[in-house]
Amino acid sequence: YYDPLTVLSLMYGDGPAARDNISVSDSEEKRDSIGVKRLSDARDEYTQIKPYAGMPKEVLVLYSSKARYRVPREILFWLTVCCTLALVAVTIAVIALSPKCLSWWQASPVYQIYPRSFKDSDGDGVGDLKGIKEKLDHFEYLNIKSIWISPFYRSPMKDFGYDVEDFRDIDPLFGTMKDFEELLATMHSKGLRLIMDFIPNHTSDRHRWFNLSRTRDPHYEDYYVWTDCKPDGPKPNNWVSIFGNSSWTYDEVRGQCYLHQFLKEQPDLNFRNPDVINEMIDIIHFWLDKGVDGFRMDAVKHMLEAPHMRDEPQVDPNKPPELVTTEWDLHSDYTTSQVGLHDILREFRAQMDIYSQEPGRYRFMVIESYDYEEVYKTMMYYGTKLEKEGDFPFNFYLLDLPQNTSGAWAKHLVHLWMGNMPKGKWPNWVVGNHDRTRISSSAGQLYVRAINMLLLTLPGTATTYYGEEIGMENINVTANPQRSPLQWNANMNAGFNDKTNLTWLPLHPDYETVNVEAQMKDDGSVLAQYRFLNTLRQSELPLNRGWFCYVHTDANVFSYIRELDGLKRAFLIVVNFGKESVVTDLSSVRELPDELKVLMSTNKVNDGKVFPKSRIQTEVGEGLVIQYSTNTRFNPNHPEECYISEKACYLETIGILYKCQ
Ligand code: GLC
C-alpha cells in the first residue's frame, strides 16, 4: 500500500518526499509527522501540474479534493438525491390523488348474448359461436366492450344450456372448442371481453358425475344431495323447485331421492362436499386459462341447503300442504342463502384474483341472485372491505318498472339500490334478460327509449339484453317469448339465418321495420339513440363516474344531475315515465342555470330546444339529456340526495382545486 502523496512525490520529484520516504518505516510517529509535512509539500507540488490523460487513480484523488472539483460534484450529488426524492414523492402523489381509470367492466355496458338467438351461421335454425364472431362489428358500432354469452356448454338442453353435461366442452349445436377459441381470440383482438355463464348449483342428470353418484361410486357418492325415500311414498320434505312442484325425485338406480331446485333433469350438487368445491374451482381454472374475462355466477343462492332438511315454513300456514307447489308458497329459509355460501363464492373470487394479477387482465365476477325484498341479502354479494366477492350482484329492481310506470316508482326502484348499496361499491342496472318478459312489451314501446336513457345515464354498469338496443318485443308464444332471434335486417329470417328457412323460435312480425340495418340508417331510431347515449356516457366524465344527485321526482318525472368536482360541464336528466305530458319547474334548484339547452331528446324534434328552468317540457315517455355549465355544484349543498362511488375517484384534492379557481 502506498499513500497517494508518497506516490506523487516519488513520481514527480526527488525532493524531500522522496528522500524522507526511505526513513518512513522507522517509526509510526515519525511517519505521521513526515506525512503531514508531505501533504503540504505535495499540495504545493501538484498545483503546478496540469491534469493529463491517463492520470493514475491516486493523482486523480488529489485533484478531485480541490474545491473547484469537489463543490460542483457535491452540488450535483445533492441535486440528484433531491430530484430523485421529489420524483418519488410526485409519483406517489399522482398515483394516490389522480383519478383512477375505471376497469373494463365499469367503463362499458355488459351486453347479454343469448347464443341460440343471436346469429345462426350454419342454417340449423339455432344461433352459434361462429355467428357471434360474424357479428362482432355490432359492438364496435354500439361502443360496447363487455359481452356476456349465456351457456354454450355441452348440454341436453332441457333448460337451454343451464343443464350442463360437460363443463369443459362446447355443445355441437353452438360449434366446437376451436370455434370458441377463435371467437375469444377475435374478441380480444377487437378489445372486447368475454364473460361466460358459470353454473355451480347443478349439473344435467346426464353429467358423468351424476351417473357415478347414482351407482354409488365411492368418490362420487356424495356429489349430489341424496336422501332416503320410497318410490311412491311421501317426499322427504315440503321443499319445492323454482319451476314448481317437489324438488325431490326418486332415482331407481340408487333407490333414493335426489334434490333438484330447478328441473328434475338438473340435480343439485352437494357443496358440503369439499371435492365438489374443488371440481368447480378446476373448471374455473380451465376457462380462465383459456382466457375468458369473467363469469356470471348462476343461481348461487341455491348452492347450499340446511343439512337437517326440515320442512320450510309456509307463507300461508293455513294452506293445505298438497297445494304448496311454488316457491312463493314457502319461506325458503332452508334452501337458499345458507351460512357458508359466501365463503364458497369468496374462494371462487380468490381464484379469479390470481388470474387478475396479469396486467390489464382483470377477471370480472357478477352474481345472479333474486332476493326480491330482501335487498340486504343481495348486497352481501359485494363482499366486505377485507374480502372481495362479486364485482357486483345483478340489480334486478328495474325489471319491476312496468308494474307502475311513473317518475316516483322509477326513483323508488333506483333508490332501492342506491340507498342500500355498501359505500364505495359500483352500482349496476338490468332491464331485461332471458328469464323475464322484455320490458318493451311489459312497459310498452312508448317507454323503450326513456328506459334506455335511464340505463345509460345512471351511475354504474348497464346490462343490455340482446335486442333492447333496437326495442325488440316479446313474441306471441307461451314459453320463451323473450328469446326470439335478433332482428338484423328485413331479409329472410331477419338476417338471423340466411341459409335455410329454420329459426328455433318464430321471429317477431315487426322485424321488417324493427331491425338493426334499418335503425342504423335512421338517426332518430332506438338504436341510434342507444349508441349516442353510450358514446356520450363514455366520453363524458360526469356521466361515467361523476356524482349522481336526485333533483326532482313526481308522478310523471324522474330527474337527476350528473356532475364531477372540478368540471364545469354537468348534465341534467329529466325522464317522463308518467301518463301525461308535463311541465317541470326546477326554478328552486339554484345550482342550475336559468336556461337549459337540450343536448338530446328521445323525441328527436326536441334536440337543441332551450327551456327556462321553470318550464321544462316533456311528453309521455320522453327523456331529455341537458348539458349545462356551472361554477356551483349541486352535491355539496345536498349531500343527502347525492351519491358517488369511491372507485369513481371522488377526490378532495380536486374539490380544493375547484374552490381555488
Ligand atoms: C338462472 C338462469 C335460468 C336458469 C336457472 C337454472 O336463473 O337465468 O335461465 O333456468 O338459473 O340454472
Q: Give how far the C-alpha of residue 452 lies from the chain's centroid of Cα atoms, to the nearest Å.
A: 19
The CA distance from 144 to 452, in Å, is: 14
Establish whether residue 199 lines the binding site of ligand 1, counting it when its CB lies within 6 angstroms of any ligand atom: yes
Confirm whether 105-153+170-198+285-300+363-539 and 546-659 share one CATH topology.
no
CA–centroid distance, residue 299 to ligand 1 (Å): 6
Give the whole-number percent of the chain exceeding pLDDT 90. 82
Residue 3: pLDDT above 90?
A: no
Where is average pLDDT lowest: 113-117, 561-565, 597-601? 561-565
CA–centroid distance, residue 204 to ligand 1 (Å): 13
pLDDT digits (tens, 9 = 90+) for 85-138: 999 998 777 666 655 578 999 999 999 999 999 999 999 999 999 999 999 999
Establish whether residue 327 lines the binding site of ligand 1, counting it when its CB lies within 6 angstroms of any ligand atom: no
Phi, psi of 532 (to 5 degrees): -60, -50
Establish whether residue 159 lines the binding site of ligand 1, counting it when its CB lies within 6 angstroms of any ligand atom: yes
The CA distance from 357 to 375, in Å, is: 32
Ligand 1 closest atom vs CA 199: 12
CA–centroid distance, residue 162 to ligand 1 (Å): 6
Predicted confidence band of residue 653 (pLDDT cuts 50, 70, 90) = very low
The CA distance from 362 to 359, in Å, is: 8
Give the whole-number percent of the chain exceeding pLDDT 70. 89
Nearest to 556 by CA among 428, 454, 400, 410: 410
Q: Give the β-pairing of 392-393 and 248-251.
A: unpaired
CATH superfamily of 546-659: Golgi alpha-mannosidase II (2.60.40.1180)
Q: Which pLDDT score, from 0 to 100, does residue 464 have? A: 98
Q: Which pLDDT score, from 0 to 100, does residue 26 have? A: 38
Pocket test for ligand 1, best of 112, 435, 436 (most atoms within 8 A of CB): 435
Nearest-5° angle of CA 50, CA 56, CA 59? 55
The CATH architecture assigned to 105-153+170-198+285-300+363-539 reads: Alpha-Beta Barrel (3.20)
C-alpha cell at 368: 345472479
Dmax over CA atoms of the chain, in Å, equals: 124
Q: Which pLDDT score, from 0 to 100, does residue 651 have? A: 42
Establish whether residue 298 lines the binding site of ligand 1, counting it when its CB lies within 6 angstroms of any ligand atom: yes
Mean pLDDT of all residues in 513-526? 97
> Where in the chain are the domains?
105-153+170-198+285-300+363-539, 546-659
Residue nearest to atom 11 of ligand 1 (CA): 299
Q: Which residues contact 513 (CB under 8 A, 6 or more apart)?
A: 490
Establish whether residue 162 lines the binding site of ligand 1, counting it when its CB lies within 6 angstroms of any ligand atom: yes
Q: Under DSSP, is residue 548 helix (H, G, I), strand (E, B) or coil?
A: strand
- State the DSSP H helix or E strand holding residue 67, giving kind and residue range, or none if neither: helix 67-97
Q: Which pLDDT score, from 0 to 100, does residue 294 have? A: 98
Give the DSSP per-residue string, 158-200. TTTTSS-SEEEEE-TTT--HHHHHHHHHHHHHTT-EEEEEE--
Pocket test for ligand 1, best of 150, 159, 260 (most atoms within 8 A of CB): 159
Ligand 1 closest atom vs CA 150: 8
Give the DSSP per-residue string, 216-282. T-TTTTTSB-EE---SSS--SSS-B-TTSSBSEEEETTTTEEEE-SS-TTSPBB-TTSHHHHHHHHH
Establish whether residue 435 lines the binding site of ligand 1, counting it when its CB lies within 6 angstroms of any ligand atom: yes
Q: Which pLDDT score, from 0 to 100, does residue 414 have? A: 98
Strands in 248-251's sheet, in edge-to-edge order, are 226-227, 256-259, 248-251
CA distances from 595 to 246, 378, 384, 465, 610 (A): 62, 41, 44, 37, 7
Q: Under DSSP, is residue 211 helix (H, G, I), strand (E, B) or coil?
A: helix
214 with 255: CB under 8 angstroms?
no
Q: Give how far the C-alpha of residue 441 lies from the chain's centroid of Cα atoms, to the nearest Å.
A: 28
In terms of DSSP H, where are the helices of 307-374? 341-356
Establish whether residue 299 lines the binding site of ligand 1, counting it when its CB lies within 6 angstroms of any ligand atom: yes
Residue 56: pLDDT above 70?
A: yes
Mean pLDDT of all residues in 38-54? 60
Q: Is 351 exposed, middle or buried (0-12, 13-18, 19+ CB in 10 A)?
A: middle
Q: Which pLDDT score, from 0 to 100, does residue 16 have? A: 39
Residue 184: pLDDT above 50?
A: yes
Q: Which pLDDT score, from 0 to 100, does residue 656 have? A: 47
Q: Which residues contact 54 (CB under 8 A, 6 or more apart)?
A: none
Give catalytic residue positions. Answer: 298, 368
Q: Is 361 exposed, middle or buried (0-12, 13-18, 19+ CB in 10 A)?
A: middle
Ramachandran category for residue 187: left, alpha or beta (phi over 0 → left; psi -120 to 50 → alpha): alpha
Q: Which residues contact 355 (CB under 8 A, 6 or more apart)?
A: 288, 361, 363
**pTM of the prediction?**
0.85
Establish whether residue 429 lines the binding site of ligand 1, counting it when its CB lies within 6 angstroms of any ligand atom: no
The CA distance from 2 to 336, in Å, is: 86
pLDDT digits (tens, 9 = 90+) for 285-308: 999 999 999 999 999 999 999 999
Residue nearest to atom 8 of ligand 1 (CA): 435
537 with 517: CB under 8 angstroms?
no
56 with 7: CB under 8 angstroms?
yes
Mean pLDDT of all residues in 165-192? 98
The sign of the dihedral angle between the CA atoms of 487, 490, 492, 497 is negative
Predicted confidence band of residue 429 (pLDDT cuts 50, 70, 90) = very high
pLDDT digits (tens, 9 = 90+) for 310-324: 999 999 999 999 999
pLDDT digits (tens, 9 = 90+) for 75-88: 999 999 999 999 99
CA–centroid distance, residue 394 to ligand 1 (Å): 13
Predicted confidence band of residue 141 (pLDDT cuts 50, 70, 90) = very high
State the average pLDDT for the chain: 91
Predicted confidence band of residue 337 (pLDDT cuts 50, 70, 90) = very high
Establish whether residue 263 lines the binding site of ligand 1, counting it when its CB lies within 6 angstroms of any ligand atom: no
Residue 20: pLDDT above 70?
A: no
C-alpha cell at 285: 381454472
Establish whether residue 197 lines the binding site of ligand 1, counting it when its CB lies within 6 angstroms of any ligand atom: no
CA–centroid distance, residue 264 to ligand 1 (Å): 14
Q: Give the β-pairing of 569-576 and 610-612.
A: unpaired
The CA distance from 314 to 164, in Å, is: 32
Residue 661: pLDDT above 50?
A: no
548 with 562: CB under 8 angstroms?
yes
The CA distance from 132 to 138, in Å, is: 10
The CA distance from 482 to 488, in Å, is: 16
Residue nearest to atom 12 of ligand 1 (CA): 162
